[in-house]
Structure 1
Amino acid sequence: MESALLVKEYRAGVLECAHYGHICITDEHGQVVYSVGDPQFRAFTRSSAKPFQAIPGIRAGIDQHYSLEAQEIAIMASSHRSEPEHIRVLEHLADKIGLGEDCLICAPSYPLNEESRNNWLRAQGEKRRILHNCSGKHLGILGYSQMKNLDLDSYAQPDHPVQREILTTLAGLADIEEKEIQLGVDGCGFPVFSLPLSALSNAYLKLACPDLIADEATRIAVQTITSAMNQHPLMVGGTHRVDSVLLEDDNIVAKGGFKGVFGFALKKERLGITFKVLDGSEEEWASIVQSILKQLNYSNSKTIERLAEVFPADIRNDAGTLVGRMDSEFVLHS
């Protein structure tokens, strides 16, 4: 099935950009109830997998073992922007685990948040591994590996026991066989998973509705992780990030990933929702999410209003002058 037009961008009333992709919405029975484009399109999860990658460690009790607080659990599922509060929590997490950032295989980086990066550079700060937006995930898995007395040097390799456990966990929540998930290498060096959007939607619904998870330990771990994400939404993304804004709503679990993939789920409505913008852009996420929520007649209008406030449809130039507009163009099909 071909991709569908999701968003158009106009400048001076003239079409400048068109963004195509796929959307899938599944229910608690694993059925596709709404879609745009191909709901079976295979996408790499990228960072949208982080809540699932945190499950094995929490399930095994690393939160009790290291006396972790909710903020530290949330940042394990994050794509943080290295804002000051992120750095504070990451350093506390590293101290509790007792591992230096030299153990991380992710590349030394500068903060992704513009203000934080500028302040860091003014202070002549150097690149650090802990500033990488995946460092929370890495610290969590290193902590779990250390607790189980597993090799730390190979913690990111696909055949490492923790990585195998992550794959098994994701497949189970997605209701597919492990062999149906194709592995690649993510930007941070971890295995990354390619699977149908419908399967990823099923997995996201389990995050929002853990009562659908048969295994008690996994169910409790999911509740712990998603509770931390909703309690500390800024830890998961950062200032003016779509997933952090959505997580302000206790009815939503959300996490974005690089190259245009996004997953979220609605607890009361019991719907898992994923989409992929084929050109890899993230600028359209808020517009797509708003349109989905409106078309689903989502009851919490404040969340839709909040998205519109933080991510207006107006396009402005570098000086703040209004120059165009972004509009969603798709209709959900049942």
Structure 2
Amino acid sequence: MSQTFAATAAAELAVVERSGFVESRHVGSAIVLAPDGEVAREYGDPGALILPRSCMKPIQALTCLAVGAPLEGERLALATASHSGTDRHVGVVRDILAAAELTEDALACPPAWPSDAATRHELVRDHGEPARVRMNCSGKHAAMLLACRTAGWDTEGYLDPSHPLQVQVRELAERLTGAKVAATAVDGCGAPVFAMTLSGLAKAIHRIGTSSVSSPFALHRNAGTLVEAVRAAPWTIAGPGQPDTIVIERLGVFSKGGAEGVHVMVAPDGTTVAVKMLDGASRATAAVGLRLLELAGALDAADVADTMSQLPLAVTGGGRDVGAIRPAF
């Protein structure tokens, strides 16, 4: 059975402090790539296999572009998002589906409540129900359906690993990571997710995050366009108060979190970070990524501190802040 690294190979990446007492510790692996792509720092075992979860979405979105899907601006940003299901997000997802001449019933992701609290409460008051279009991966699924329509492929079974679209996703993942896919699993949304090393994921995201829209190569042009789309509309990638949206808005960092404690970031200068928390917790990943970018000299310490103050890192007791989740560095 394929598996990720063991606890004995992990490094301490973050701690949870309550009233001056370190209550919990998060261990995992992390890697930092310099702007030129060379390894600058490593923690734990970045060479071990992981499932990238939603950090693979940029690769999936680029595959949709490669087959000709007409995605640009907010549509393109939603294709790589783990959105919080607000009406604004849903509006763009429905726009992508309309371009494919499909309805929400074509989405193969499971129905879900929006993760945005205000939107969820409003739906409950209006006697709404979970919907596929509210699911955080619905933008990716809509983009995949549009790609299938564009390429002339069957939209039925578009999540099957043997479907032409998923075969191309796999091939692009291998091209960007520089290694063959080690295993295939089913992601939470039902799409295939391909096992790769954390260092391979960092390499792929570095290539995407440092691409230029003026590149002579189509893949790099598409990647540059994708990153520009996300940076131009940070609300698309996650939502109000969500770490990725906050980090992009404040620092211009291309930031993408995934389930089970995976997170990738690319600073404006190209410095790249990939993090995997072994316990699957995501509450500290953005903070760890930002601190690693700061230590690498890619971000100003004051800017990082200001941004971290906006992230949900506070530990509360009796209705007041009594501590914080913080990087272990």
Matched, 1:161 2:164: yes
Residues 1-334 of structure 1 mapped to structure 2, 5 A cutoff: 2-27=9-34, 30-63=37-70, 68-176=71-179, 178=180, 180-210=181-211, 216-248=217-249, 251-268=252-269, 270-301=270-301, 303-311=303-311, 313-317=313-317, 320-330=319-329
Which amino acid is 2:291 matched to?
Answer: S
CA RMSD in angstroms, aligned pairs only? 2.2
| Superimposed CA distance per residue, residues 271-304 of structure 1 (whole angstroms, 9 cap, x where no aligned partner) | 2210101111111123212321321233445641
Whole-angstrom CA distance in 2 between matches of 1:147 and 1:69: 15
Given that 2:284 and 2:326 are in contact with CA atoms closer than 8 Å, whether structure 1 keeps it comes out as no
Letter of the structure 2 residue corresponding to residue 284 of structure 1: A
CA contact (8 A) 2:272 2:293 kept: no
Is residue 245–residue 306 contact of structure 1 (8 Å, CA) maintained in 2?
Answer: no
Q: Which runs of 5+ in 1 are unaligned?
A: none
**Deviation for aligned residue 1:234:** 0.9
CA separation of 1:306/1:20 partners in 2, compared to 1, >3 Å: closer, same or farther? same
Query: 1:253 Cα shift?
Result: 1.7
- Runs of 4+ aligned structure 1 residues displaced above 6 Å come to 212-215
Instruction: Go from structure 1 to structure 2 and tell me whether the alpha carbon gap of 1:142 and 1:302 turns closer, same or farther (over 3 Å shift).
Output: farther
Distance of 1:193 and 1:168 partners within structure 2:
11
CA distance in 2, matches of 1:181, 1:307: 36
Distance 2:231 2:262 in 1: 20
- The runs of 5 or more residues in structure 2 that have no matched partner are 1-7
Distance in 1 (alpha carbons) for counterparts of 2:244 and 2:308 = 14
The alignment partner of 1:254 has SS state of strand
SS in 2 for 1:111: coil
State how far apart, in whole Å, the 2-side matches of 1:90 and 1:36 are.
38
Deviation at 1:88, TM superposition (A): 1.7
**Greater mean alpha carbon deviation, residues 19-28 or residues 304-313:** 304-313
Q: 1:250 to 1:324 in 2, by over 3 A?
A: closer
Shift of 1:84: 2.1
Within 1, Cα distance between the matches of 2:289 and 2:98? 37
TM-score of the pair, normalised by structure 1: 0.90
* Percent identity for Structure 1 against Structure 2: 27
User: Cα distance, 1:30 vs. partner?
Assistant: 4.8
Alpha-carbon distance in structure 1 between the residues aligned to 2:34 and 2:177 = 12
SS class of match (2:167): helix
Residue 246 of structure 1 deviates from its aligned partner by: 2.3
Which secondary structure does the structure 2 equivalent of 1:184 belong to?
strand
